[in-house]
Structure 1
Amino acid sequence: MNRRGVGMTSSATRDLVWFSEVQWDFLSTRKQRLLQRFSPRWRILFVEPYALGRSAHWLPVTRGNVTVVTVPFLKTVPYRIGRLLDVALLRNAVASAGELILRFWLRRLGFASRERIVGLSNVYWGRVAARMPCALRFYDANDDHLAFPGSPSWLPGYQSRYLERCGLLFSVSPELTARLPLPSTVRCIELGNGVEYDHFATPLPDAPPELAAFAAEGGPLLGYAGAMDWVDTELLRETAAACPHCRIALLGPAYDRTWRERNRALLELPNVHWFGKVDYPELPAWVQRFDLALMPLLCDPLKRASHPNKLYEYAAAGVPVLAIDYCSALGAARGVIHIAGSAGEFVAMVPEALRDTRRAERQAFASEHSWDALALRMEEELLRASEREAG
């Protein structure tokens, strides 16, 4: 791939500090897919949160050209204790401790230069990131971060403070961009989600044993791959009840530790099985076995503004896709997937979707949305913006 672009003739190394709301190794997301494709001229520090019960990188580790380090901060305080953070004095004390750890690693790892670029997708770091001397600040709006359950009342101020100091915004959807309190000086780039096409399109001959055993019970295999927290579980229950001859496989983690207990009625159905998190390298072997890939996502404000990369992963695998109409990004795929306008229509469309033979068309659609192209555009936009700021 030709990586030349604006500013690419210079041999100068560029430093990027990214404040992330998800851990690098826990779940493969848009951030990892983009950053790991940046050219070697970039030195990237990925500041991830701490999460109870998950592995942390208290000492930095490298992931290609990315250095990953865990810094506990406001977002990582447990919810019940976190209510104490509504008291500004306590919140500032906790934030100061996290900032001291951050400053240590910035200096230790060589990311303290005023020429660095600062990127933010973890709004809790907003006030700190807004104060950091840098050549450019940008915000990656991959979700409506203020719409998550339990978001504190003081968090919008952290987001606004950061956006006031931004020069560039990357957003996954126009709906999400419209929700942000953006100054007129911020340049907005709609940069959706994508796919590692070859990763999902290359046929894998062997099915995972656990999935093969479940599928062997008989009937078409319906599957969902993604975070469980965003699934419309009532819609899944209706689908499972209306299609008792089908197997429904659920792949992915649940961020909410009470999710299993709250959805016991779904998981106890004889034709439904939750396999938990599947590591990204193994995911194509599972998805390629679906007779029908499902997108039964909640139709709420949070998901309305999203841009699902699972759409492109399913399409790259070639399998038929059935989605509830929960976000505008699905519109571009109407020619190759099935989109239901209601729960009743979703259930009724299962037989038709199972008969879909447009494999080549789906894969051609997916190939147009590669992470390589998106990463190159982000890289070039960052270089252009930083050069404008310097000029």
Structure 2
Amino acid sequence: MKKILYLMNVDWNWIKQRPQFIAEGLSSSFEVSILYRYKYNRKGLTADNQAHNYKLSRIYTIPFINKQKTLKRINDWIIKCWINLLIRLTKPDLVYVTNPAHIAGVPSSYVGKIVYDCMDYHSAFIEDNIERKQLIESERELVNRADLIVVSSDKLKANLTQNYQLDGLSKRISVVRNGYNGEVLDNVLESEIDKKEKFSLAYIGTISHWFDFEALRYSLEQLPNIEYWIIGPQSKVSVLEHPRIKYFGSVEHTKLYNFIKDANVLIMPFQVNDIVEAVDPVKLYEYINFNKNIISIRYDEVERFEDFVYFYNTKDEFVEAIRNIQLSDGIKYSFDKRITFLKHNTWNNRVKQLVDLIKEL
């Protein structure tokens, strides 16, 4: 069986998304070892208590020094050494890279295959110009060395093709979108709470600088009977404190529905920037599974969710979408359309795509 070393830049117990789902899925077809960076601040993480057939290894870096450029280099060196050591010890047939910086740890003498899973527009996350240039050069090296590049959105494919202009690059790039866990919820119902008395809007996911708190603030001023439930970890952001906003932190993936089953609407209130434009949002797949009305900011990558989502561009349109749902008699999409969509967009289907691509290498 082919051995894969799967490299992650976040803690394994961080909110469960693409890296964890794909690693788990690949372990059904390959011998998978997962190397991830341990997060010392365990607040906001969830526990992984399930039996699994993959091996987990942690990278322990020096905590709380990454904001200091000189000391950060020590952690970068530690990560590089860990990756290099594990490759030399385990001799994987394939190294699966999810962050461009990790290519520094893959020795030039490595003769196995390299897969780059580009899940985000990585350079857009970095504010420091020097650090951003370093990451861009790492990504240039990675796309040059990779035998296969998979991206989660058309925008990411366009970014890589435009930014690096390497011969034959587009032929090595395949779009493998995001998905949901594959467990179709068949007992989900629209909230029976009176929309006129209390109207609840829930968000599930990371709260970071792209979260549009201004849209929430404005809607709370315009609509006195609405409230927000925010579920997920906070990442380097000051949140909006308001008596009608409740923060729940991270919740285990299997328990999410119980948290939002009484919500009237699920929302994705983002500010559109380079990062958001490149995202194929996992949460929209999961929101559809929860059988709720959905409100999302509009951008090109999510247009294909038109049949399921109320889109908005401005905060006034956001308020209008809420009012339209308050006046509606049901959910925007039908049960049959929901089931058809879900059957075609599971993480298992995405992994099957990846397995086929990897077997062709």
TM range (shorter): 0.7 to 0.9
Are 2:177 and 1:203 equivalent residues in the alignment? no
Distance in 1 (CA, whole Å) between partners of 2:124 and 2:107 is: 21
* CA deviation map 1:127-177 (0-9, x unaligned): 223636142111111111111144513221111111110121111112111
Are 2:200 and 1:221 equivalent residues in the alignment? yes
Match of 2:46 in 1: none
Of 138, 163, 177 in structure 1, the residue corresponding to residue 115 of structure 2 is: 138
Matched residue pairs, number?
342
The answer on whether the counterparts of 1:129 and 1:162 sit within 8 Å (CA) in structure 2 is no
Match of 2:8 in 1: 20
Of 89, 101, 106 in structure 1, the residue corresponding to residue 82 of structure 2 is: 101
Are 2:58 and 1:70 equivalent residues in the alignment? yes
Are 2:217 and 1:237 equivalent residues in the alignment? yes
Are 2:154 and 1:174 equivalent residues in the alignment? yes
Are 2:259 and 1:272 equivalent residues in the alignment? no
Of 106, 126, 150 in structure 1, the residue corresponding to residue 103 of structure 2 is: 126
Q: What secondary structure does 1:289 align onto? A: coil
RMSD: 2.9
- Alpha-carbon deviation of 1:105? 4.1
Of 346, 352, 358 in structure 1, the residue corresponding to residue 318 of structure 2 is: 346
Q: What secondary structure does 1:185 align onto? A: coil
- Alpha-carbon deviation of 1:40? 3.6
Q: What secondary structure does 1:189 align onto? A: strand
Match of 1:334 in 2: 306
The answer on whether the counterparts of 1:316 and 1:367 sit within 8 Å (CA) in structure 2 is no
Of 179, 186, 190 in structure 1, the residue corresponding to residue 175 of structure 2 is: 190
The answer on whether the counterparts of 1:197 and 1:366 sit within 8 Å (CA) in structure 2 is yes
The answer on whether the counterparts of 2:211 and 2:270 sit within 8 Å (CA) in structure 1 is yes
Code of the residue aligned with 1:172 in structure 2: it is S
Name structure 1 gaps, 5 residues minimum: 1-12, 56-60, 386-391
Code of the residue aligned with 2:291 in structure 1: it is G
Between 64-73 and 341-350, the greater mean CA deviation after superposition: 64-73
The answer on whether the counterparts of 1:218 and 1:247 sit within 8 Å (CA) in structure 2 is no
Q: What secondary structure does 2:157 align onto? A: helix
Are 2:70 and 1:84 equivalent residues in the alignment? yes
Match of 2:292 in 1: 319
Q: What secondary structure does 1:349 align onto? A: helix
Compared CA separation, residues 307 and 131, structure 1 to 2 (3 A): same
- Alpha-carbon deviation of 1:80? 2.6
- Alpha-carbon deviation of 1:254? 0.9
Compared CA separation, residues 41 and 219, structure 1 to 2 (3 A): closer
- Alpha-carbon deviation of 1:310? 0.5
Distance in 2 (CA, whole Å) between partners of 1:97 and 1:36 is: 26
- Alpha-carbon deviation of 1:204? 6.7
* CA deviation map 1:168-204 (0-9, x unaligned): 11111121112222523341111111012425x2437
Q: Kindly, what percent of the aligned residue pairs are identical? A: 18
- Alpha-carbon deviation of 1:217? 12
Compared CA separation, residues 150 and 72, structure 1 to 2 (3 A): farther
Q: What secondary structure does 2:230 align onto? A: strand
Code of the residue aligned with 1:303 in structure 2: it is V
Code of the residue aligned with 1:80 in structure 2: it is K
The answer on whether the counterparts of 1:288 and 1:318 sit within 8 Å (CA) in structure 2 is no
Code of the residue aligned with 1:227 in structure 2: it is T
Distance in 1 (CA, whole Å) between partners of 2:17 and 2:137 is: 26
The answer on whether the counterparts of 1:324 and 1:343 sit within 8 Å (CA) in structure 2 is no
Compared CA separation, residues 162 and 285, structure 1 to 2 (3 A): same
- Alpha-carbon deviation of 1:368? 2.2
Code of the residue aligned with 2:340 in structure 1: it is A
Match of 2:345 in 1: 369
- Alpha-carbon deviation of 1:320? 0.5
Between 236-245 and 215-224, the greater mean CA deviation after superposition: 215-224
Distance in 1 (CA, whole Å) between partners of 2:7 and 2:203 is: 29
Q: What secondary structure does 1:80 align onto? A: coil
Of 112, 116, 129 in structure 1, the residue corresponding to residue 91 of structure 2 is: 112
Distance in 2 (CA, whole Å) between partners of 1:100 and 1:336 is: 46
Are 2:355 and 1:379 equivalent residues in the alignment? yes
Code of the residue aligned with 1:64 in structure 2: it is H
Distance in 2 (CA, whole Å) between partners of 1:102 and 1:137 is: 13
Compared CA separation, residues 277 and 182, structure 1 to 2 (3 A): farther
- Alpha-carbon deviation of 1:78? 3.0
* CA deviation map 1:297-354 (0-9, x unaligned): 12111110110010010101110001111x3232111122111122221111102134
Compared CA separation, residues 331 and 217, structure 1 to 2 (3 A): closer
Code of the residue aligned with 2:36 in structure 1: it is E
Q: What secondary structure does 1:16 align onto? A: strand
